[in-house]
Amino acid sequence: MRVIDSHTEGEPTRVIVEGGPPLGRGSLAERVQRFGSGFDDYRRASINEPRGHEALVGALLCEPCDEACSSGVIFFNNAGYLGMCGHAMIGTAVTLAHLGRIEPGAHRFETPAGIVMVDLKTCNEATLLNVESFRSRKDVSIEVDSIGNVTGDVAYGGNWFFLTGDAPCPLTMENIPRLSTAAEAIRKTLAAKQVTGAEGAEIDHVEFFGPPVSTTADSRNFVLCPGGAYDRSPCGTGTSAKLACLAANGLLKPGQDWIQESIIGSRFVASYQPSGHSKIIPRLTGRAYVCGEATLFRNPEDPFADGIVASGRNMPASRSGASPDPQQFVAQQF
Q: Could you say which of 80, 228, 236, 307 contacts ligand PYC (CB under 6 A)? A: 236
Q: Is 112 in the site for ligand PYC (CB under 6 A)?
A: no
Distance CA 181, CA 7 (A): 25
How far apart, in Å, are the Cα atoms of 223 and each of 34, 177, 231, 260, 294?
A: 28, 12, 5, 12, 28
Residue of 189, 131, 128, 185 whose CA lies nearest to 155: 131
Three-state SS at 141: strand
Q: Which residues make beta-bridge pairs with 138?
A: none
Write down the catalytic residue from 85, 169, 245, 291.
Answer: 85
The question of whether 123 is a catalytic residue gets the answer no
Three-state SS at 179: helix
Strands 148-156 and 160-164: antiparallel
Q: Which stretch binds ligand PYC (CB under 6 A): 16-24, 81-89, 148-156, 322-330?
A: 81-89
Nearer to ligand PYC, 61 or 270 (CB): 270
Q: Could you say which of 5, 231, 261, 306 contacts ligand PYC (CB under 6 A)? A: 231
Q: Could you say which of 237, 262, 271, 320 contacts ligand PYC (CB under 6 A)? A: 237
Q: Is 163 in the site for ligand PYC (CB under 6 A)?
A: no
Q: How many CB atoms lie within 10 A of CB 239?
A: 33
Q: Could you say which of 83, 86, 168, 227 contacts ligand PYC (CB under 6 A)? A: 86
The question of whether 85 is a catalytic residue gets the answer yes
Cβ of residue 298: shortest distance to ligand PYC, in angstroms?
25
Q: How many CB atoms lie within 10 A of CB 294?
A: 13
Distance CA 137, CA 151 (A): 11
Q: Is 57 in the site for ligand PYC (CB under 6 A)?
A: yes
Q: Is 83 in the site for ligand PYC (CB under 6 A)?
A: no
Q: What residue type is 261 in one-letter code? A: E
Q: Is 87 in the site for ligand PYC (CB under 6 A)?
A: yes
- Residues contributing to the site for ligand PYC (CB under 6 A): 11, 57, 85-87, 159, 225, 231, 233, 235-237
Which positions are catalytic?
Answer: 85, 235
